[in-house]
Amino acid sequence: MQFRVSEGRGQCLYELGVSDDGTPRGLTRRDFDESVQTIERMAAQLQLEATLLQCCAVSTATAKMTGEAAEEELLCGEIMVSRRQSSSAHDLSVAFCGAVGCGKSTLMAVLLTAHLDDGCGGTRQSLFNHKHELDSGRTSSLAARVWTVPQVAAATYRGGSYRSPPPQPPQPPAVSVPSRFRPSWSPASLPVAAAAPPTPPFTCASPRSITLLDAGGDITKTMLFGLMSRKPDYVCVCVAADASDVSDVSLYAEVCCAMNTPFLLGVTKCDCVEEFELDGLLMELTVALEKVGCVAEQVESKQTAAAYCRDWLPRHREAAVGGGNTYASFASPTTQDAPATAERLRVPMFCVSSVAGGDGLDLFRSCLSHLQNTPPSPPLSPPSCASKPPFEVLLDCAFEVDDVGPVVHGRVAHGPVEVGCSCYIGPGSDGRFYTVLVRGIHVEGEHVNTAQVGDEATFALDRLPAAVTVAHKGKVLVRQPERVAMAFEATVQVLSQSIGAHMEPIMYTRNARQAVNVVSVASTSGDAAAGAVPEGRRECTMQCRFLFRPEVVGPGDAVVLHWAPRGIAVGRITAVGTSGI
């Protein structure tokens, strides 16, 4: 039974009274009841749920009772055995972002599998979603995986929790190939799937489910859309130790600050450089973060990491963040006796290696597994006693499934969402919402009856209105229709390049991504010319209008504006309107 449930992704069916060739022969009432009770006992022992879906009479049989012949019905039935759904949602989510080739996908795969990389990117193959990603070795889509930290007794770590790649048989000497012709990965580097990963010694007081998100490389539309739509609780900005340019780190920091999201700094590939080169890179990172009002501090002990997780990281959510603004006075975990005049935000920095040796992985994984849980999100509106609580699902794609119908995929921002509920999907090109019915829900490939907040779920709908194109980002699944806006006003901080009126940058907020027309720009400092803000970190107020269709936005939503070639501005929406501000 356990094998059948695993093969069926958490669900399997048992047919009673049906022969191997599919002929419904039937069972007597007594045999049928005994079979049902046997299946229920087996399911209870495996902590599964057994539900009798249907029972019907297929024929009658003649039975001899007390010397007299009597007619008895023969029954056939169908029982569904499924896993019991956990009542708790994922504890938190961590997004990995950074430049192309910085090793963030490999680091995330090593955390999930507890297997060290072979130096050719073999471990990260399990994170790719498309064949072209396997061919090129580059991540071009969002990859979300759930990392479960089990509840086991604490064990002494001696560097043996990560398995090194299995030794390869001796190969004949190969002809030397110039480095520029060598591929970044090879099919021979694929991980061995037969070996089960060992149980990691990193433990918590109770089991935790942490969602890890690979947001892709560089500051591209995939990375920005992933951070804005998934709203991770924490962000890990990865930088390769052999990187020659670390100027983009300040842009990642500004985006995280605009989202009011705590972020950490992970320096990967530490085995590729000498110690003095690593020290020079850490100094460059410190200078880059100082430009945005942050102080990088290297974490070298579990006590320091625990202090950050317990006392410091949750402070990000106590106040709105605006780029390089200063913060309330508090001391660093490693400078307990320092005066309380320090106002700049301190960012923990970890040096790790994902290949043989696994330097720093123990400390880094221990910190991630002990991050503080996020506070519950406020409800969309106060529910009445007669109505069910509202929910909101941020959709990102839709597809058709044979014998099922339209299926949409998204993240549950507010919930829960139940099977069979009537809800609305939209907005369409005209700004309207349309009624749909949720016929089924899958979370992590398994059938569930309820999707909780933070779940990445797929929803089978009874129909998908033609006016709703989910390929256009910004569509939502809600209990009641929401207000849409065609224009908005935002206070942003221009990080690079200049911006002025009549420009058309790409706007990212929530799960929406659309080009906007900058109607007007006004510098808050008053020392810039009207209608334009010069290059540099300058705060301004701008009025924008969507070019194609209305979106679901509201005051307080984080917003990112991106324009070619490397212009970026971050801030928050202050007002919305239907036609103009």
Of residues 567 and 149, more confidently modeled:
567
* Residue 107 CB neighbour total at 10 angstroms: 28
d(Cα 4, Cα 7) in Å, to the nearest integer?
Answer: 5
Lowest pLDDT segment from 184-198, 434-448, 453-467 = 184-198
d(Cα 512, Cα 472) in Å, to the nearest integer?
Answer: 8
Regarding whether 296 and 224 lie in a shared domain, the answer is yes
Q: What are phi and psi of 359, to 5 degrees?
A: -60, 130
Report yes or no: 564 and 496 within 8 Å, Cβ to Cβ.
no
Regarding whether 357 and 285 lie in a shared domain, the answer is yes
Regarding whether 216 and 114 lie in a shared domain, the answer is yes
Q: Which of 178, 169, 192, 171 is nearest to 122 (CA)?
A: 192
Determine what percent of the chain is predicted with pLDDT higher than 70: 76
Using pLDDT thresholds of 50, 70 and 90, give the confidence band for residue 324: very low
DSSP state of 388: P
Report yes or no: 487 and 581 within 8 Å, Cβ to Cβ.
yes
Regarding whether 119 and 6 lie in a shared domain, the answer is no
283 domain-assigned: yes
Regarding whether 551 and 509 lie in a shared domain, the answer is yes
Domain that holds residue 572: 484-576
Residue 359 clears pLDDT 80, i.e. is over it: yes
d(Cα 503, Cα 490) in Å, to the nearest integer?
Answer: 15
Q: Both tokens of residue 495?
A: 């990080």
181 domain-assigned: no
Q: Both tokens of residue 533?
A: 């803000």
DSSP state of 564: T
DSSP letters for 82-151: EEPPPSS--SEEEEEEESTTSSHHHHHHHHHH-B---SSS-GGGGG--SHHHHHH----S-EEEEEEE--
Q: Both tokens of residue 94?
A: 């961590």
Using pLDDT thresholds of 50, 70 and 90, give the confidence band for residue 230: confident
SS3 label, residue 77: strand
Pick the last residue of a domain from 414, 444, 478.
Answer: 478
190 domain-assigned: no
Angle (deg, nearest 10), helices 361-369 and 104-113: 70
* Residue 197 CB neighbour total at 10 angstroms: 12
CATH number of the domain bearing residue 277: 3.40.50.300
101 domain-assigned: yes
Q: Both tokens of residue 549?
A: 């269709």
340 domain-assigned: no
Report yes or no: 103 and 360 within 8 Å, Cβ to Cβ.
no
For the chain, the domain total comes to: 4
Maximal C-alpha separation, the chain: 108
Regarding whether 96 and 37 lie in a shared domain, the answer is no
CATH number of the domain bearing residue 500: 2.40.30.10
Residue 378 clears pLDDT 60, i.e. is over it: no
C-alpha distance from residue 458 to each of 85, 128, 370, 444, 531 (Å): 16, 19, 29, 9, 45
Lowest pLDDT segment from 227-231, 333-337, 344-348, 490-494 = 333-337
Q: Both tokens of residue 11?
A: 């669900």
d(Cα 409, Cα 413) in Å, to the nearest integer?
Answer: 13
The pLDDT score that the predictor gives to residue 375 is 63
Report yes or no: 545 and 487 within 8 Å, Cβ to Cβ.
yes
3-state DSSP helix/strand/coil % of the chain, to nearest 5: 20, 35, 45
d(Cα 348, Cα 298) in Å, to the nearest integer?
Answer: 6
d(Cα 445, Cα 10) in Å, to the nearest integer?
Answer: 8
The pLDDT score that the predictor gives to residue 177 is 38
Regarding whether 220 and 112 lie in a shared domain, the answer is yes
Regarding whether 255 and 107 lie in a shared domain, the answer is yes
Residue 199 clears pLDDT 50, i.e. is over it: no
Residue 239 clears pLDDT 80, i.e. is over it: yes
Any idea of the CA torsion for 368, 369, 372, 373, to the nearest 10 degrees?
110
Regarding whether 288 and 258 lie in a shared domain, the answer is yes
Residue burial 540-565, b: 16+ Cβ < 10 Å; e: rest: bbbbbbbeebbbbbeeebbbbbbbee
Of residues 15 and 51, more confidently modeled:
15
Residue burial 61-75, b: 16+ Cβ < 10 Å; e: rest: eeeeeeeeeeebebb
**pLDDT single digits (tens) 471-488:** 899 999 999 999 999 999
359 domain-assigned: yes
161 domain-assigned: no
Q: What are phi and psi of 515, to 5 degrees?
A: -75, 140
Winning range, highest mean pLDDT, from 126-130, 161-165, 319-323, 418-422: 418-422
Q: Please give the helix or strand (H or E) that residue 296 lies within, else none.
A: strand 294-298
Residue type, 205: A
Residue 197 clears pLDDT 70, i.e. is over it: no
Pick the last residue of a domain from 478, 495, 514.
Answer: 478
Regarding whether 43 and 110 lie in a shared domain, the answer is no
Using pLDDT thresholds of 50, 70 and 90, give the confidence band for residue 8: confident
Regarding whether 262 and 215 lie in a shared domain, the answer is yes
Regarding whether 268 and 416 lie in a shared domain, the answer is no
Pick the last residue of a domain from 478, 508, 523.
Answer: 478
Using pLDDT thresholds of 50, 70 and 90, give the confidence band for residue 90: low
d(Cα 33, Cα 293) in Å, to the nearest integer?
Answer: 71
166 domain-assigned: no
The pLDDT score that the predictor gives to residue 468 is 92
d(Cα 473, Cα 214) in Å, to the nearest integer?
Answer: 19
